[in-house]
Amino acid sequence: MSSPTLIFKKRPIVYLQGEPLLLWNWQQEQQTLLEILESKHVRIFSECRSGFCGACRTKVRQGSVKYLIEPLAELAADECLPCCCIPNEDLDLDITTEGADMPPVYQDKYA
* Residues at the contact surface with other proteins, assessed by CB under 8 A: 43, 45-50, 52-55, 57, 72-74, 99
Q: Which residue lies nearer to other proteins by CB, 12 or 36?
A: 36
Long-range contacts of 59-62 (CB under 8 A, 24+ apart): 59/93, 59/94, 60/91, 60/92, 60/93, 60/94, 61/15, 61/17, 61/18, 61/92, 61/93, 61/94, 62/15, 62/90, 62/91, 62/92
Query: What distances in angstroms separate CA 6 from CA 9, 63, 87, 105, one per listed residue?
Result: 9, 23, 20, 34
Residue 9's Cα: distance from chain center in Å?
Answer: 16
Q: Provide the minimum distance between the beta carbon of 33 and other proteins in the complex, in angstroms, as a whole number.
A: 16
13 versus 53: smaller Cβ distance to other proteins: 53
Nearer to other proteins, 98 or 108 (CB): 98
Q: How far is the CB of 45 from other proteins (least distance, A)?
A: 5
Q: In angstroms, what is the minimal distance from the CB of 2 to other proteins? A: 39
Return the number of the residue (90 or 94) whose C-beta is nearest other proteins.
Answer: 94
CB of 72 to other proteins, least distance (A): 5
